[in-house]
Structure 1
Amino acid sequence: MDTKAFKRSLQQSQNYHRRGFGHDEEVAGTMNTEYQSDLIQTIRDRNYRLQRGDVTILLAESFGFCWGVERAVAMAYETRQHFPTAKIWITNEIIHNPSVNQRLREMNVDFIELVNGEKDFSVVGHQDVVILPAFGASVSEMQLLNDKGCTIVDTTCPWVSKVWNSVEKHKKRDYTSIIHGKYAHEETVATSSFADRYLVVLNLEQAEYVTNYILDGGDRQEFLTKFKNAYSDGFDPDRDLIRVGIANQTTMLKSETEQIGRLLEQTMLKKYGPTELTQHFMSFNTICDATQERQDAMFDLVEKDLSLMVVIGGFNSSNTTHLQEIAVEHHIPSYHIDCVERILSRDRLEYKPLDGEITIVENWLPEGEIIVGITSGASTPDKVVADVIEKIFDLKAVAIA
C-alpha cells in the first residue's frame, strides 16, 4: 500500500478531522475543573517544594499532562459536544490513564474491544464517529474505518506523526526502519505499519545483538527467533540490515534511543566506511520534547536526598515506566501507582514494580521526617497527583496525632 498517498487521500476527505470543532473555550473550562488542581499550582509557585509537618514534597519540575495528551483529550471532549447524538468509538484508550478513560465512558464514548487479541471493528457502523487516540492507529485500521464511511477524528500526537514521516523517508529510499520501542505497544504498531521493512528493538542489549550480526553475521534462524513478532513479513537479516534508518516509540527512554542511534551509526561506519555511510544509515531527531523534559526533570529529582519516590501514571504507560526506571537505577525506594486508591493505608501500598505484577508492599511510608519525590507520566492529570500528595499528608498527620 502506498501509505503516503492514502494519508493524503484521507486528509482530504470531508469525514476526516485533525483539528477541533470550535468548542475550545468551553472544553478548556471543563478540563480545568476536572483535571487541574490548586494544590499543584501552589507547589509550582513555591519552587516545586511544599512542607507540611514532617513531610516535604519535592515535585519534579516537568511532569504530568503534555501538550499532545491535553490536545487529544480536548479533541475527544469536543467530539462528544459536536456530535451529541452520534455513536462514538475510540480505537484504543485515548491516553494511558484510567480516570480519563473512565470519564470518556461516562460521556457515552465506547472503546473498541479486543476479541481473541484483535480489535473487533464489526461493531462500528457506517455513520459512527471514531476517535483515533494520541498514540495513533495503524494504516490498516484507518483504511478499514475509511472504507466503512465513518467520521474519523484523528488526535494522533504531532510527535508521533513526525516519527511516521521519518519512516516514510526510510521507505522511500529503500531503508529498513530500526524502531526503538515495544513491538506490541499501540504507537509502535502504528509506526511500523508505515514501513515496508522494519525491526523493533526493545533496548540497547537487543540493538547490540543486531549490530554484531551486521558486522560478523550469525545464525539467521536464531535471529528470527529472538525477534519473533518484532519484524515485518518476510524479514531477512542477511538482506534487510544493509541499509537502515533509526526511528523510535516517542515514550522510550531518551538516552537509550540516542545510544542505539549512535551504535547503529558507528556500526555502519565501521562496516562501510565514512564515504559510504549515508548510503547505509539514516537518522532524524524524533525524540519527543515532552518525554525528554520529564526524564530530564526526573534525573534532577533523584539527585536530591529523597526518602522515597512515588511515580504516578497508568500501569500500561511506557513513559511512566521509564520514569520509574530512573528512580530504581538510583536505588531510591520507588512506587509506581496509577491512582490514590492504591494507597491502602499508612502501612500498605499497592504498586507495580518494574517488569512485575501488581503487588502490595508493607511499611512503605517511613516514620519521622521524610522527603518524598513526586512525578507523573505524560497522561496523568494534576488532580490525580494532588490526590496522592494529600493522602500522604493525611496519613502522616494521623501518625503524628
Structure 2
Amino acid sequence: YQEEVAETMRSAYQSSLIQKIRENNYVFQRGELTIKLAEAFGFCWGVERSVAMAYETREHFPQDKIWITNEIIHNPSVNQHIRDMNIGFIPVVDGNKDFSVVGSGEVVILPAFGASVWEMQLLNDKGCKIVDTTCPWVSKVWNTVERHKKKQFTSIIHGKYKHEETVATSSFAGKYLVVLNLEEAEYVCDYIFNGGDRSEFLAKFKNACSSGFDPDKDLQNVGIANQTTMLKTETEAIGKLLEKTMMKKYGPDKLNEHFHSFNTICDATQERQDAMLGLMEEKMDLMLVIGGFNSSNTTHLQEMAISKGIPSYHIDRPERILPGNRIEHKPLGGDLEVTENWLPEGEIIIGVTSGASTPDKIVEGAIENIFELKAAAVV
C-alpha cells in the first residue's frame, strides 16, 4: 500500500505554494506583504514516518478495530484525519487511560512519542497486534536511560513530566528526576553540592521523580537525558552545569564514576531551532509560529522569538486568522486571546515557522489568509 499511502499523504499534507517559496530562497512577496520562511520547519522525518505508518495500518487492516494510545502527533488537523479513518483514541478517565475498551487481539498503534513500559506490557498481555510508530530519536533516549539504569545511575531528564514522551522515557529508567528548565537544574545542582532541605526538595519534585526518590542518595551518580523537543541550548546548558557540579564535588579524576552524558538532542528539533535563529537575524515586523498548542517544540520556537523581542503569534490552524485584521492566538504560557489590528499598515515583513508536527498545507492556509487580510486592508 506504500504508493497509495504516499499519494494520500501528498494530497493531505503537502503544498505547492510552500514548495514554490522554498525554491525562491524561502521568500515570497505579494503586494505590500513579504513572507520569510525559516529554512527548516514543519513535518520532520520521524513525524512523517509515524503518520504514514498509521495510514498503512488502516490499509493493511481494513476491517479491524484499531486503537491509538495517544495523539499520533501534536497537531489537531492530523489527529482529526486519524479519527476520520475510524481509528479510536484510548479514552482518558479521571486522568488515566482506560485500556478496558481494547479487546483481545485488536490492533493498537503506538504514537510518535512512544508508550510507557506498563502500557506496552498490558497490550502485549491482551495479545494485541502492536504497530510501533515511535520516533527512532525517542528510542535513542530510551536506550540512554536504560544505560543509566544498568549502571545504577539516576537519569536527570530535561523535559515536562506530564508530556507523553517524558512519561514513556521515565518508565524505562530506574531512578529518575525530571527538570523543566535551567532554573530547576540549578536548584538540583545546589542540593548536590551543598545539601539542603530534603522535604522541600521532595515537595518541589513530587510529580517529577521516581517512586521512593531520595535526593541524599540518588543524586550521587547521575546521567543526563532529554525530551527530544526541548530547547537544545537549554539541554546543553543543563548537561554542562551537572558535569561542572559533579566535577567540583568529586574531582575531575572521578567524574566518569558519577556523571554520564550522551547527546540525545533530536536532529530535527535542532535544525528547526537553528533555522529560527537564522530567521530572527533577518529584518521583520512580526513572527507567526504555527503548530499545535500542546506541541513542545512549537512552543519553544515561540519562546525564541519572544526572547528576541519580536512580536510573535502562535496559532494552531489557519482559521485562527480572522476577518477584520484580527487573530486568535495563544501567548506563551497564557490562554487563547484575540488581538485586533495585528497586521501593521503599509509594507510589512512577516517571518513564518512551524513545529515538527505541522503539515505544509496548514502553513499554506495561514499564509493565504494573511494575504487576503492584507489585500482587504489595501482596498
Deviation at 1:109, TM superposition (A): 0.6
In the alignment, the residues of structure 2 paired with residue 295 and residue 254 of structure 1 have an alpha-carbon distance, to the nearest angstrom, of 8
Displacement of 1:354 in angstroms is 0.8
Cα distance in 1 for residues equivalent to 2:334 and 2:91: 25
- The answer for the alignment partner of 1:365 in structure 2 is 343
Q: Tell me how far 1:391 sits from its aligned partner.
A: 0.6
Match of residue 293 from structure 2: 315
Stretches of structure 2 that go unaligned for 5 or more consecutive residues are none
The residue aligned with 1:18 is: none
Residue type at the aligned position of 1:58: K
For 1:15, the equivalent position in structure 2 comes to none
- Does residue 389 (structure 1) correspond to residue 342 (structure 2)? The answer is no
1:220 aligns with 2:181: no
Output one character per residue of 1:219-267: Cα deviation in whole Å (capped at 9) or x when no partner. Answer: 0000011112000000000000000000000000000000000000000
How far 1:127 sits from its partner (Å)?
2.2
Deviation, 1:70, is: 0.1
Does residue 95 of the first structure (1) align with residue 73 of the second (2)?
yes
User: Which of residues 171, 176, 179 is equivalent to 1:198?
Assistant: 176
1:119 aligns with 2:97: yes
Q: Letter of the 2:215 partner, please give it.
A: P
Shift of 1:68: 0.1
Instruction: Identify the residue that residue 29 of structure 2 maps to in structure 1.
Output: 51
Cα offset, 1:346, TM superposition: 3.7
* CA deviation profile, 1:79-118 (whole Å, cap 9, x unmatched): 0000000000110000000000001111101101110000
Q: Which residue of 1 aligns with 2:52?
A: 74
Contact 2:157/2:176, CA 8 A, preserved across alignment: yes
SS at match of 1:240: coil
| Cα-to-partner distance string for 1:168-198 (whole Å, 9 max, x where unaligned) | 0000000000000000000000000001100
Alignment equivalent of 2:254, drawn from 256, 276, 295: 276
- Compare 145-154 and 300-309 and name the one that shifted more: 300-309
Instruction: Measure, in 1, the Cα distance between the counterparts of 2:254 and 2:113.
Output: 35
Q: Distance in 2 between matches of 1:394 and 1:163?
A: 44
Residue-by-residue CA offset, 1:337-368 (whole Å, 9 max, x unaligned): 00011111242111111111111111111111
Runs of 4+ deviating beyond 6 Å: none
Structural RMSD (CA): 0.6
Contact 2:288 2:312 in 1 (8 A): yes
* Match 2:224 to one of 246, 268, 275: 246
For residue 193 of structure 1, give the secondary structure of its aligned residue in structure 2: helix
Amino acid across the alignment from 1:121: F
- Give the percent of matched residue pairs that are identical in Structure 1 and Structure 2: 73
**Equivalent position of 2:113 in the other structure:** 135
Task: Please say if residues 309 and 373 of structure 1, whose CA atoms lie closer than 8 Å, have aligned partners that are also in contact.
Answer: yes
Aligned-partner Cα distance in 1 for 2:338–2:118: 41
Does residue 267 of the first structure (1) align with residue 252 of the second (2)?
no
Amino acid at match of 2:321: I
Q: Give the deviation of 1:24 after TM superposition.
A: 1.8
Query: Which residue of 352, 360, 379 corresponds with 2:357?
Result: 379
Decide which of 19, 22, 27 is 1:41's aligned counterpart.
19
Which residue of the partner structure matches residue 161 of structure 1?
139
Q: Pick from 137, 141, 159: which aligns with 1:181?
A: 159
| Maintained 8 Å contact 1:346/1:364 | no
Residue type of the partner of 1:214?
I
Contact preservation (8 Å) 2:325, 2:373: no
Q: Is the 8 A contact 1:346 1:365 kept in 2?
A: no
Counterpart CA distance in 2 for 1:174 and 1:345 is 58
**1:13: which partner in 2?**
none
The 2-side partners of 1:152 and 1:128 are apart by 9
Whole-angstrom distance in 1 between the partners of 2:356 and 2:129: 28
TM norm structure 2 = 0.99
Aligned length: 379
Q: Which runs of 5+ in 1 are unaligned?
A: 1-22
> 1:57 touches 1:371 (CA, 8 Å); kept in 2?
yes
Indicate which of 339, 342, 347 corresponds to 2:325: 347
**Contact in 2 for aligned 1:204/1:259 (Cα 8 Å):** yes
Q: Which residue does 1:3 correspond to in 2? A: none
TM-score normalized by the length of structure 1 = 0.94
